């Protein structure tokens, strides 16, 4: 088989494949391995195996024994903690490779590692269940908002008519009714969520991100730094830029509020192969990561974070993330988060669909 075709097969596999040389340095890895460790090919190549992760429950001596005894091993349900502190459960197989003395270029790999993420399937079904529940909550809130909207319009109209007939002193009260009705109407509009008129076209995601940075920079506290780490090779992607902007703005605003007056927010873009999003597999996906070094998401909010009206802020309406999720969902994408004190990241994954 031509080596190009072989690479194509290896890079389309879900299982991570890593080949190690005698010194336990990486001499080959496929794309799935880069995604698992969230490291680039350049970073992985030539690196010591142990420098790719923070912790692995299978000890290093087990690997060394494979080289010495030429007997492979399998470790099911091993725990891998990556450098970014993600903990994943994996099935790990280590196989000694036969030395090909006739072909020097091929002979450097002595160990073959196959790493399969086992919690992925569990995660997908939990994810699907959560989406259904969130949808129910959203429908409920939307239904309620709809019921409020019409009588509220009538109320405001009546107050306006009355306003014209009253003397100046009493006008104060009708003015108050109208102001409060307008405030409630704004909330109802937000509860009803984004309208569904998409304007999908090919756009450069970095232009959309730069616009958001410009917007938030207007009243950004001076000790908050926004860092960008963009992958310039990302192709234009079919999106509704206004919707994506709104979704990302909601997440970035939360990050700004979380760090309060001092902190760092990073915006990272990457491209990933073979991503499963909402139970559907996509060949190519864009991942936008927003990281902040604030205090983290409080435990009592985590389970219901994306539900409408869930807030941890006194002045919050709890709609930002719910709206963001609807908008990203309309792009067949997903938002997930990981959070601990000092590091909160939201990952927005959107499939790159070639039409």
Residues at the interface with Mg ion (CB under 5 A) = 254, 320
Binding mask 208-247 for ligand ATP (x = CB under 6 A): ----------------------------------------
Which of 344, 348, 351, 352 binds ligand ATP (CB under 6 A)? It is 344
From ligand ATP, Mg ion, none, which one binds at residue 311 (CB under 5 to 8 Å depending on kind)? ligand ATP
Q: What is the DSSP letter of 104?
A: G
- Cβ distance to ligand ATP smaller for residue 203 or 343: 343
Q: Is 292 in the site for ligand ATP (CB under 6 A)?
A: yes
- By a kind-dependent CB cut-off of 5 to 8 A, residue 313 interacts, out of ligand ATP, Mg ion, none, with ligand ATP
Q: Packing angle between helix 119-165 and helix 168-192, nearest 10 degrees?
A: 160
- What are the angstrom distances between the C-alpha of 52 and each of 46, 82, 208, 232? 11, 7, 33, 24
- State the nearest-atom distance from the C-beta of 333 to Mg ion, in Å: 19
Q: Does 335 engage in binding with ligand ATP (CB under 6 A)?
A: no
Report how many residues bind ligand ATP under the rule CB under 6 A.
22
146 binds, among ligand ATP, Mg ion, none (CB under 5 to 8 A by kind): none
- Any contact of residue 294 with ligand ATP (CB under 6 A)? yes
Q: Is 329 in the site for ligand ATP (CB under 6 A)?
A: no
Q: Hey, CA dihedral for 7, 12, 13, 16, is it positive or negative?
A: positive
The residue (of 228 and 281) whose beta carbon lies closer to ligand ATP is 228
What does 317 bind: ligand ATP, Mg ion, none (CB cut-off 5 to 8 Å by kind)?
A: ligand ATP
For strand 201-203 and strand 223-229, is the pairing parallel, antiparallel, or unpaired? Answer: unpaired
User: In angstroms, what is the minimal distance from the CB of 39 to Mg ion?
Assistant: 31
Q: Considering the complex, what minimum distance in angstroms separates the CB of residue 317 from Mg ion? A: 8
114 contributes a contact to ligand ATP by CB under 6 A: no
- Tokens representing 243 are 């919707």
Q: Smallest distance, Å, CB 316 to Mg ion?
A: 6
- The reply to whether 283 sits near ligand ATP by the rule CB under 6 A is no
DSSP string, 252-313: HHHHHHHHTTEEEEEEEEEEEEEEEETTEEEEEEEEEEEEE-SS---HHHHTTTTSTT--SS
Min dist CB 185 to ligand ATP, Å, is 16
Least CB distance to Mg ion at residue 309 (A): 12
Tokens describing residue 171 = 């006008």
340 in helix, strand or coil?
strand
Give the span between the Cα atoms of 63 and 288, in whole angstroms: 35
**54-71 exposure pattern, b = at least 16 Cβ within 10 A, e = fewer:** eebebeeeebeebeeeee
Among 90, 258, 275, 277, binds ligand ATP (CB under 6 A): 258
In degrees, rounded to 5, the angle at the alpha carbon of residue 261 between the alpha carbons of residues 265 and 250 is: 50
Angle at 245 (CA atoms; ends 244, 247), nearest 5 degrees: 65
For CA atoms 158, 159, 161, 166, the dihedral sign is: positive
| Region 297-316 residues binding ligand ATP, contact defined as CB under 6 A | 297, 301, 305, 310-313, 316
Asked if 118 contacts 77 with a C-beta cutoff of 8 angstroms, the reply is: yes
Q: Least separation, in Å, of the C-beta of 255 and ligand ATP?
A: 4
| Least distance between ligand ATP and beta carbon 283 (Å) | 30
Interface with ligand ATP (CB under 6 A), residue from 66, 115, 255, 327: 255
Nearest partner of 320 among 346, 350, 285, judged by Cα: 346
Binding residues for ligand ATP (CB under 6 A): 250, 254-255, 258, 292, 294, 296-297, 301, 305, 310-313, 316-322, 344
């Amino acid at each position: 088989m031509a080596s190009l075709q072989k690479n194509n097969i290896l890079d389309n596999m879900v299982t991570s494949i890593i080949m190690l040389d005698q010194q336990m340095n990486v001499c080959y890895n496929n794309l799935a391995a880069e995604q698992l460790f969230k490291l680039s090919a350049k970073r992985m190549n030539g690196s010591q195996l142990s420098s790719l992760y923070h912790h692995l429950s299978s000890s290093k001596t087990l690997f060394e024994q494979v080289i010495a005894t030429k007997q492979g091993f399998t470790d099911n349900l091993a725990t891998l903690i990556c450098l970014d502190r993600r903990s994943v459960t994996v099935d790990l197989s280590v196989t000694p490779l036969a030395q090909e003395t006739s072909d020097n270029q091929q002979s450097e790999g002595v160990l073959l590692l196959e790493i399969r993420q086992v919690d992925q399937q569990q995660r997908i079904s939990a994810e699907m269940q959560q989406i259904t529940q969130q949808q129910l909550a959203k429908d409920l809130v939307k239904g309620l908002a709809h019921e409020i909207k019409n009588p509220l319009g009538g109320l405001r109209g009546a107050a306006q008519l009355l306003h014209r007939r009253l003397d100046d002193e009493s006008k104060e009260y009708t003015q108050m009714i109208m102001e409060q009705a307008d405030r409630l109407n704004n909330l109802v509009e937000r509860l009803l969520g984004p309208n569904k008129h998409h304007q999908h076209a090919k756009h450069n995601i970095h232009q959309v991100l730069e616009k958001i940075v410009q917007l938030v920079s207007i009243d950004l506290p001076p000790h908050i730094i926004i860092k960008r780490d963009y992958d310039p090779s990302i192709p234009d992607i079919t999106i509704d830029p206004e919707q994506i902007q709104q979704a990302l703005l909601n997440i970035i605003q939360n990050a700004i509020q979380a760090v309060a007056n001092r902190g760092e927010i990073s915006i990272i873009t990457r491209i990933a192969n073979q991503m499963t999003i909402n139970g559907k597999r996509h060949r190519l996906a864009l991942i936008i990561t927003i990281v902040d070094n604030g205090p983290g998401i409080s435990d009592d909010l985590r389970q219901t974070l994306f539900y409408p009206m869930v807030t941890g802020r006194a002045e919050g309406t709890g709609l930002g993330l719910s709206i963001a999720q609807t908008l990203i969902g309309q792009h067949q994408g997903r938002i997930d988060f990981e959070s601990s004190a000092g590091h909160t990241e939201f990952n927005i994954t959107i499939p790159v669909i070639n039409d």
